[in-house]
A and B are shown apart, each in its own frame.
Chain A
Amino acid sequence: MRRRDLGAAAVLLVFGLVAVSQARGLKLGSVAAPGPGFFPLGLAIALSLVSLGLLVSAFRTPPGTVPPRADAGGRLKVLGALGALLVYALTLERLGFPLGTFGLLLFFFKVLQRQRWLVAVAGSLATSLTTYLIFKLWLGVNLPAGPWRL
């Protein structure tokens, strides 16, 4: 029995079943005039069936080689990075691009990579400003300016 595949198949199955229940709320129409729910319901049912198949297959295959467990530190970094990016996205319009990017880069340089303060600050500053200049002023991309109306 392969634990990983089992877990993944279970998640997929749950998702499929939830999709089925959600799709049933939509109008199915008839075969001659399919409604909005026709396709999604069919897909959700198919997905549930396939996940069931994956579940069964996961039970029946021998474990095989188990990949080495990633260290907890690595996974923490990944969560940290995702979290930082999420905060960045949600505050981007309020803080503006230069400030927000500065903060994000500072986090990456300082926290994830343990650079020295001077290097981290200088690097973040330089990068956020140059990217802002290149994208907003030269290429004309519409980036939020933030409180300083640059």
Chain B
Amino acid sequence: MDLLASLAYGFTVTLAPANLFACFVGVFVGTLIGVLPGIGPVATMSLLLPVTYAMSSTASIIMMAGVYYGAMYGGSTTSILVNIPGEAASVVTCLDGYQMARQGRAGPALGISAMGSFIAGTLSVLGIMLMAPPLTAVALRFGPPEIFALLLLGFTMVTYLTAGSKLKAVAMALLGLLLGTIGLDPITATPRFIYGSLTLADGLGLVPMIMGLFGISEVLLNIEKGVEREVFDTRIKGLLPTREDWKRSAAPIARGSVLGFFLGILPGIGSIIPTFISYALEKRISKHPERFGTGMIEGVAAPEAANNAATGGAMIPLLTLGIAPNVVMAVLLSAFLIHGVQPGPLLIREHPEIFWGVIASMYVGNVMLLVLNLPLIGLWVQLLRVPYGILFPLILVFCVIGVYSESGNVWDIVVMLGFGGLGYLMKKFEFDPAPMVLAFVLGRMAEESFRQSLLMSRGRFDILLTRPLATTFLIAALTVMVLPVVVPPVKRMLRTVPLEEAD
């Protein structure tokens, strides 16, 4: 089969010593920065760009790609062990992963997360190989109404992520959307809510927001509670998940992989949104949805699979269309251009060594990561067992470095601190930050697609109903919204009927 021949060719490219080394460096650095909160793949990849001048184009792309998916592996480690997401996409893993660690099950959590990531990563590369052409055909037909309807769906699903008051979650989501409007209007570039500040003109940064809401606020809460931090006095024994764990995780991993892969292809989605949706899905179909958030392994396996699969999916538009679907891919695109290579439909013909070499390297990289992560976990645990009194100032400094390194703007640090304080208050008053963050991320896209849809339809809202794809998403969103209202009364009705019959 021609496909196998091309793949074999890719492997010969990848296994060349220079490329193999580049792959290793990429995944190692990726894991490292994934573990460290405060520094992300975007910043790291940008920093590595000058380093790649001296390397071949193939090696450069292989290394950069390695950083990206390596970071997805590493990010879960800090999420599980310290409840601080190493990466924005690992936020969801904190929810159940950290709880598992508190119950002494950090080992299985880390193990399943690594295994799930590996399986998902491998499956997603398979997906790239098999599906690149037809998938891009579908994605090309997405217009603003489809994007808006899909976002609405993601939006409603995330509101149901929250245990606790749905109304509070909606409030948080609305707040996130509002905060997303700060800056320049995407269509007319009118300044909104800027009040003369240049920093705000760019809009609130996602990195300062996430670092503040999840990183800084967590530290503040711990400072208040007092010194004793539960970084697991018990040895992390049993790194290997039990058979029970495997049984429970198999389906979530499969679902997460598929979901993450297909969502990752869509422009603007990135790896954060698939993890949220995957978690919501698992919670919805679980027999014990109320236990999510207390240490359910499905809540770790599925999102971890989703974020790794999404990184694979995100490569498709770049490799086949030359379109960067998210910021990270945009940096990768720059790497291509620096080396004079134009990614897109011609890539596979003009530079098959890059196309297939990168794909093969992703297989190799995933194996390397599995090997790196499992034994090195002991190292990370030692690292994180340092007394909290010494640890938390370091975490704070890393967060500051991470934010500053991205924009060079001191005021972004202030923004982060603001969100740190806000996150602290939110936790005290029982408001969930997750819907706010997601709505913020989605907001710009949602508004653009909303307005563009109205422009297209000249003010008629029924444009959403005349396009089949958009309507499907819309119906799904309405179903999710309506379900909790409809299901309990229906259940009650079903329960009363047999009683009456028994009369």
Contact = CB atoms under 8 A, between A and B. Distances in A.
29 contacts: A5-B430, A15-B175, A26-B190, A30-B459, A32-B459, A35-B188, A39-B451, A43-B174, A43-B177, A47-B178, A50-B174, A51-B171, A57-B167, A70-B224, A74-B223, A77-B223, A78-B224, A78-B424, A82-B220, A92-B410, A92-B413, A113-B389, A127-B397, A131-B398, A135-B401, A141-B401, A141-B405, A142-B405, A143-B401
B10 interface: no
B428 to A, nearest CB: 8
Contacts of A34: 450-451, 454-455
Interface residues of B, number: 57
Interface string A20-53: 0010001100111111111110011011001101
A143 B455 contact: no
Interface residues of A, number: 61
A104 B397 CA distance: 9
If over half of B's interface residues share one DSSP class (helix, strand or loop), that class is named, otherwise mixed; here it is helix
A51 to B, nearest CB: 6
B235 interface: no
Interface of A: 4-5, 7-8, 12, 15, 19, 22, 26-27, 30-40, 43-44, 46-47, 50-51, 53-54, 57, 70, 74-75, 77-78, 81-82, 85-86, 88-90, 92-93, 101, 104-105, 108-109, 112-113, 115, 123, 127, 131, 135, 139-143
**Which of the listed residues A5, A15, A36, A50 has the most CB atoms from chain B within 10 Å of its own CB?**
A36
Contacts of B398: 131
Which of A30, A32, A50 has the most chain B CB atoms closer than 10 A to its own CB?
Answer: A50
Q: Which 8 pairs, one residue from A and one from B, show the smallest C-beta to C-beta distance? A: A32-B459, A74-B224, A36-B185, A89-B413, A31-B459, A36-B190, A47-B174, A108-B393
Nearest to A74: B224
B174 A105 contact: no
Q: Which of B47, B174, B401, B447 has the most CB of A within 10 A?
A: B174
B394 interface: yes
Contacts of B226: 74
Contacts of B219: 81
A50 B174 CA distance: 9
B168 A54 contact: yes
B447 A47 contact: no
B224 A86 contact: no
B400 interface: yes
Given A22-B193, A26-B190, A92-B413, A53 B167 contact: yes
Given A40-B192, A101-B397, A127-B394, A32 B223 contact: no
B414 interface: yes
A92 B220 CA distance: 21
Given A35-B190, A86-B414, 17 more contacts: A7-B429, A8-B431, A12-B175, A31-B454, A34-B450, A34-B451, A35-B188, A43-B178, A53-B167, A54-B168, A54-B171, A57-B165, A81-B223, A89-B400, A89-B417, A90-B414, A141-B405
Contacts of A19: 178
A88 B185 CA distance: 32
B404 interface: yes
B494 interface: no
Contacts of B258: none
Contact of A92 (B168, B185, B192, B404): B404
Contacts of B389: 109, 113, 115
Contacts of A70: 224
Contacts of B393: 104-105, 108-109, 127
A50 B455 contact: no
Contacts of B458: 32
